[in-house]
Amino acid sequence: MAKLYSQKKPQNQVNLNPKEETVKFLLDYSKALSVINCNKMKFEALLN
């Protein structure tokens, strides 16, 4: 059965805010990640 997205959201929704160090870690990780396409394969390399 299809989920109805037109219904109201619950009122007790909690606003989650990540720590600054978590955001920094994720950004640094994404900058260091390199995806290499070779023929039909993909290789992921983490450049430290």
More confident residue, 18 or 15: 18
d(CA 47, CA 6): 44
pTM, to two decimals: 0.51
pLDDT at 47: 80
Q: Indicate the SS3 state at residue 14.
A: coil
H or E stretch including 37?
A: strand 33-38
pLDDT band per the 50, 70, 90 thresholds, residue 20: very high
Tell me: pLDDT of 29 over 80: yes
Kindly state the average pLDDT of the residues 7-35.
86
d(CA 36, CA 11): 45
d(CA 41, CA 28): 25
d(CA 22, CA 29): 11
Question: Which sequence spans correspond to the domains of the chain?
Answer: 19-48
